Each structure stands twice: as structure tokens, then as C-alpha cells.
Amino acid sequence: MAASVRLSPAARSLFDEPLAIAVQGLGPRQQVTLRTSLRDETGELFQASARYQAGDDGQLDLARCPALPGGSFSGLEPMGLLWALQPQKPFWRLVKRDVQSPFLLQLEVFEGHGERPGRLLAQAQHERAFLRDGVRRVPVRDGRIRATLFLPPGEDTFPGIIDIHGYGGGLLESRASLLANHGFATLALAYYQFEDLPQKPKELHLEYFEEAVNYMLQHSQVKGPGVGLLGFSKGGEVSLAMAAFLKNITAVASLNAPVAATCIPFSYKDKIIPPMTIYEHKAKVTNSKLLDYSDVTEDPFHAPGNQSLIPLEKAEAQLLFIVGQDDRVVKSEYYATEVCKLLQDQGKGNFQILPYPGTGHCIDPPFFPLYPIGSHPVFHKRAVLGGELRAYSKAQVHAWSQIQAFFKKYL
């Protein structure tokens, strides 16, 4: 009997869903190497490999069989071949621009455990999709708003979430599309460097974001009375500022975000929040000659008369701070801890912190590859962003389920 790969689901799954991988028809206790490959939209290759030994019956089920040392990972890791994918081009990040087309995952089974792959025994292809059947993608050009709305299948009303990305601008739809698969009406909102939005904003006007909140609440399929905000990095900072100044925000999940204005001031009506001072000369050089910018920002909790802190005591929303304990871009754990102390001192209890060890700045939905070293969002130089492969892969899955549970509870 020839070897064959058995995947479940067989042909197509959502990118954030687990994929069961098994090989049948091998020889008793046969040694094999499994390799996964995926090309991004620019053609760059991501790969992972692991060494296995089949059972006495020639079967190999990754849910029951540990990977042996020598590959991208070892131990019992049923999803290892997905979370361990790494770019062949150094410091490259996996980004999905067109969520209407899936990524194509290639899985190959090779004979033996050599440094070079042995004979190809079996292979399979699988689509990793971003949209469940029936999820609608609606481009939004309403007033000043530049966004894309994702609506779950059906005519019901759904909890509404605005998804805001960090520095880098543009419109990123991957996280919003995946959330819509889980029953949320999700608006991926651009706020600069997209179409006719400012390229380099001098200020971030909260009125723009208020327009997006009103757009969502006026939509016939968004269940009010308030919306949720999901923000990463700068987007988390924007979400917290929105919660402090705007009405109708019920719940905010912030991923590795500052709690004070950084780089760009906020303005709302006649109020301005100036940015914290950044001291680029405080960057450190690591042993591997990379820049570490984790200590370049002034401490907004200890700078006398600091006006940069977002007045979160005004926020009525529930606040969920998700922090990577190895974040080298934002001191996210310190910021979340200090701001929650301030809230507690004021008798508030509308917050929780979820800390993740071994997790760096970039916290993506499950199975996006680790991006530990890359271009710094502010200085555009190669820098340490933080994170360690296995810990991060577990944090992704856990944080993603916690984000959904949080919004289900409060929206």
C-alpha cells in the first residue's frame, strides 16, 4: 500500500482553525520527515519540517505521535507544522492582503531523517481560507470613513467590533475577516496611508473614529447599544483613547498597546493629548548586533505633569489588556499594570490583564508565523520585536479564544 496524507478538514479550513494531519500506508516504525510549505502573496516561501517515526501498524497521527529532535520543533505538537512555518527570506513577515483568496499549504512526506530530504513518499495540498462560506465583505466609503465591513452569514444582528491596526497604515483585513467567521460584524478601519486619508497625519482626530462608531451603530445588522474595539499596538492606543473620550464603546481588547499618546498627538473637540518624548539614543545594541528600542520612551507615569497619558478613568468600557511579556517595542505589561493600579485607586474594576510569557510585540491570530525580528514600526530599522516560537504559538491560540469570549460576554 502506498503512503498517503490524510487531512481533516480534507480540502479547506479557516486559517485560525486546527488541521488534523495523519499519514497512512508507511512501513512499521518507518522514519519519515514531514514538510509544510506556503507561499505568501509576494511569492516568498515559508517552511517547517519535523521528523517522525510511524507506529507498528505503519500509521502516523500527529495528534498522538511526538516529533523527534532535529526538525523545526519536537514533542507532541499536532499543529507544529503550521505554527513553526518560518520565512526562507530572513526577517520577513507573513501578511494577508487579499482575504478573498486562501493561502495554499503544501504538505510532503519524505523517507528518512537525513539533512537532505529522502525520496518523496506522499504529498497533499490544502487551502487555508480567511472567509467562511456566506461571510460578506463590504467595502465602506461612508463620509470620511475608509474601511471594510465583514458580516457573518444570515440576516440577524451581530455584535459589532471595530478592528484597528498599528503603525504602518493602510487597510489590513485578515483579523477582521477571521473574527466575522466567529459571529461578529467586524469593521477593519484604515486611519492613514490609505486612499485619500492622510499619508503622515499631524494629529489623530478622534472625530474620525467617532464617525466609524456611528456608522456601525446605524447599521441594520449591528446589535447595539455599543460596539467593541480590537486594537493592536498603535491601534490599541487609539482604541483606549476612543474609550476615554467617545460614547457607545462597551468593550476594548488592546494588544500590546501604549496607554499614552506616542509619536502623533490625539485631538478631540478642543482637547489635545501630546505624545510622549522618545529618546532614540537610548536604543541598545544586542549581542547579535540588532537594535533594541524597548527603553526609548519616557515613562508617562513618572514624568512630572505628564499630559500624554490617556485619561482611562473616564472610560466606561470593559478593558482587556493582552500583553506579551517579551514585547520589545512597547512596555506593554508595565503600562497595563500601572494604568490598572490607577483605575483600582479610583475604585474601578472594569479591567483585566492577560500576560503571555515568551510572547513579543506581534500577537496575531493563531498560526501566523512568529515575527521576532523585523522593521521597527517607528524607526524603520531592523530591531528585536520579541517572542519565542513555542510560547508564542500557545499564546496566539489562547489569546484568540479569550478575545472572542470577552466580546461575547460584553457585547
Say if 4-129 and 136-410 have the same CATH topology. no
pLDDT at 168: 87
Please give the pLDDT value at position 127: 98
Q: State residue 378's pLDDT score.
A: 87
CA angle centred on 243, ends 241 and 248, rounded to 5°: 140
361 is catalytic: yes
| pLDDT beyond 90 at 165 | yes
Between CA 275 and CA 128 the distance in angstroms is 40
Give the pLDDT score at 186: 98
What pLDDT, on the 0 to 100 scale, is given for residue 304?
74
Of 327, 332, 376, 393, which residue is the catalytic one? 327
| Pairing state between β 4-8 and 103-111 | unpaired
User: Structure pTM?
Assistant: 0.96
Q: Is residue 260 scored above 80 in pLDDT?
A: yes
Task: Write phi, then psi, for 271 (nearest 5 degrees).
Answer: -105, 135
- All three cell numbers of 221, joined, read 445588522
Q: What is the pLDDT of residue 59?
A: 97
In the set 361, 364, 376, 393, the catalytic residue is 361
Which residue in 13, 49, 177, 233 is the catalytic one? 233
Q: pLDDT at position 103, please?
A: 98
Cell numbers given for 151: 458580516
pLDDT band at 198 (very low <50, low <70, confident <90, very high): very high
- Give, as one character, the DSSP assignment of residue 93: -
What percentage of the chain exceeds 70 in pLDDT? 100
DSSP letters for 105-125: EEEEEEES--SS---EEEEEE
- Record: fold of 136-410: Rossmann fold (3.40.50)
Per the CB < 8 A criterion, the answer to whether 107 and 36 are in contact is yes
Per-residue pLDDT of 313-326, as tens digits, reads 999 999 999 999 99
Whole-number Å distance between alpha carbons of 359 and 232: 14
Instruction: Please give the biggest Cα pair distance in the chain.
Output: 76
* Residues 201-233 pLDDT 10s: 999 999 999 999 999 999 999 999 999 999 999
**pLDDT tens-place string over residues 367-380:** 999 999 998 888 88
44 burial type by CB count under 10 A (0-12 exposed, 13-18 middle, 19+ buried): middle
- Residue 280 has what pLDDT? 87
- What is the predicted pLDDT for the residue at 20? 98
Cβ burial 238-249 (10 Å sphere, 16+ → b, else e): bbbbbbbbbebb
Whose CA is closest to 293, among 275, 281, 306?
281
Question: Does residue 8 carry a pLDDT above 90?
Answer: yes
Task: Choose among 400, 395, 397: nearest CA to 360.
Answer: 395
Taking Cα atoms as reference points, which of 155, 18, 176, 9 lies closest to residue 82?
Answer: 18
- Residue ranges per structural domain of the chain: 4-129, 136-410
Query: Kind and range of the H or E element at 368?
Result: none
The predicted pLDDT at position 289 comes to: 84
Grid cell at residue 388:
519565542
Q: Check pLDDT > 80 for residue 340.
A: yes
Residue 327 known to be catalytic: yes
Domain 4-129 bears CATH identifier 2.60.40.2240: yes
pLDDT digits (tens, 9 = 90+) for 288-311: 888 999 999 999 998 777 899 999
Residue (of 270, 355, 338) closest to 303 by Cα position: 338
Short-list 354, 136, 163, 349, CA closest to 252:
163
How far apart CA 207 and CA 201 sit, in angstroms, is 14
Lowest mean pLDDT among 132-136, 236-240, 250-254, 290-294: 290-294
How much of the chain, in percent, has pLDDT values that exceed 90?
92
**Mean pLDDT, all residues of the chain:** 96
